[in-house]
A and B are shown apart, each in its own frame.
Chain A
Amino acid sequence: MVKGHQGEGVRSKSNQYPNTSLIHIEGVNTKEEVSWYCGKQWIALLLHLGQVPRPHGNSGVVRAKFKSNLPPKSMGDRVRVVMYPGNI
């Protein structure tokens, strides 16, 4: 399991889209490194399950979609990536 921190939801200047959360995975700093994680599952707060679909920008931040939206209170909290579904 790899740890990460939850960031904001995807947003533009005035509009927020809470269905997708931005997550920063520890140790992942570029877009290319994120590709290893794509397709893997998240566990956030032991309650929410989600998936890593794609990177967000160039610095390794990741967009994640969860079964139900992450509560805004948990911004900054720990989030875990598990290594399955395996692809190697």
Chain B
Amino acid sequence: MAPKAATGRTSRNPDLIRGVGKFSRSKMYHKRGLWAIKAKNGGVFPKHDPKPAAAETPAKPPKFYPADDVKKPLANKRKHKPTKLRASITPGTVLILLAGRFMGKRVVFLKQLTSGLLLVTGPFKVNGVPLRRVNQSYVIATSTKVDISGVDLGKFDDQYFEKEAEKKKKKGEGEFFEAEKEEKKVLPDDKKDDQKTVDAQLIKSIEAVLDLKTYLSARFYSEPQFFISKFCFME
């Protein structure tokens, strides 16, 4: 007899206390109607044949055993997360760069890349800062914001900024005698075009705000009499 689903079924033998039922074994035999099942089956409980075991495919012994037991390195399941972005930095915020070639420049934040670095642009026409990646630590956020809703940033990611793999030079006799050709790193035209497209949108938003362009062109600098600790970068 196929077992019925037990939904909604309570035990016929209520517990007096945990582990002690109300009815004895013989009473339960009668309650469950086991006598009727036996009678139906000719005086014995019906037996079910055991299910045939699934045929096992014989495992092939491996052809090759390594000479020594080689230890497998533990699997590294770490996933890289981008650095948590400070609350003060949102797309369109004007940032002040604190280090590097463009130290002191005020710059527009575009988006955070998957590596955690911030994608930033001058815009180039305004202060000479190109599309660039910057670490969050080397930046002060201001409360000034630029509208960047019209800018398409989908194509910019860390791959875009990676150095092109240098082709290995084959050493030949002639190489030693030739004057070393200095290959100038010229920015490819498509990158220049990307800069122009992004900046075109930004410059429109910037020119709409009074004095913002002059603000972005100016560098930030400090002198002792400025009392930087008292500066209010965020209003």
Contacts and interface: CB of A to CB of B under 8 A. Distances in A.
B225 A27 contact: yes
B176 interface: no
Interface string B36-74: 000000000000000000000000000000000000000
Residues of A in contact with B, size category: 10 to 19
Contact of B88 (A2, A84, A85, A88): A88
A27 B226 CA distance: 8
A3 B221 CA distance: 13
B229 A86 contact: no
Given A88-B141, A88-B233, A88-B234, A83 B228 contact: yes
B99 interface: yes
Given A82-B98, A83-B98, A27 B227 contact: yes
A37 B140 contact: no
Contacts of A27: 224-229
B26 interface: no
Given A27-B224, A27-B226, A82 B234 contact: no
A86 B140 contact: yes
Residues of B in contact with A, size category: 20 to 34
B224 A36 contact: no
Interface of B: 86, 88, 98-99, 136-141, 222, 224-230, 233-234
A66 B138 CA distance: 20
Contact of A3 (B140, B224, B233): B224
Contacts of B137: 84-86
Nearest to A28: B229
Interface in A65-88: 82-86, 88
B16 to A, nearest CB: 68
The 4 A-B pairs of least Cβ separation, nearest first, read A36-B229, A85-B137, A26-B224, A33-B229
A3 B137 CA distance: 20
A33 B227 CA distance: 9
Interface string A21-37: 00000111000011111
